[in-house]
Amino acid sequence: MKGIVFGLGALLLAATAGTASAQTMSYAQAGALIAKSCGPSIERFCSKVNIGTGQVMQCLMQHQDQVPRACFDDFAAAQASIAKRVAAQSGSFKICAPSAQEFCSGVRPGDAQMLDCLLASTKVVRPACKQVLLDAGWAN
């Protein structure tokens, strides 16, 4: 089962095309969710499929009448959440640039100093920046 959880990070990374509107989950949370609802079916039907190849979902679909619906629902939710997290991390610089100029103007970029400043200023940074920091998984 540990192999399933650890290998799901690669599976999710390869399958992050959509987006969602809810708060994002970490790779560990996504892997744990999928391992819980899909793990038994993966072990039963797809034990010979290499998790990192992206073929596990194809294998599960071949047995969809025997795989719990929660497996597919949880996989879709995890995939969407990871895609949203990746998009937030990619777009955070642009979205937070106005807040960085306003609240962190003396901070030199590098070694996550700008991120640390923005996180320390979350009570005053612009709402869009606050949201992208949350979606990126960097703020609580």
Segments making up each domain of the chain, as ranges: 2-135
Find all residues with CB under 8 Å of 71, minimum gap 6, and list them: 34, 37, 38, 41, 60
Q: What percent of the chain has pLDDT over 70?
A: 84
Interval 47-82: pLDDT, tens = 999 877 889 999 999 999 999 999 999 999 999 999
Closest listed residue to residue 12, CA positions, set 70, 58, 51: 51
CB 67 within 8 A of CB 40: no
* Integer Cα distance of 64 and 58 in angstroms: 10
Say what the pTM is: 0.72
User: Residue type at 30?
Assistant: A
Look at phi and psi of residue 54 and say left if phi exceeds 0, alpha if psi is from -120 to 50, else beta: left
**pLDDT at position 97 over 90:** yes
The pLDDT value given to residue 108: 85
* Integer Cα distance of 104 and 120 in angstroms: 10
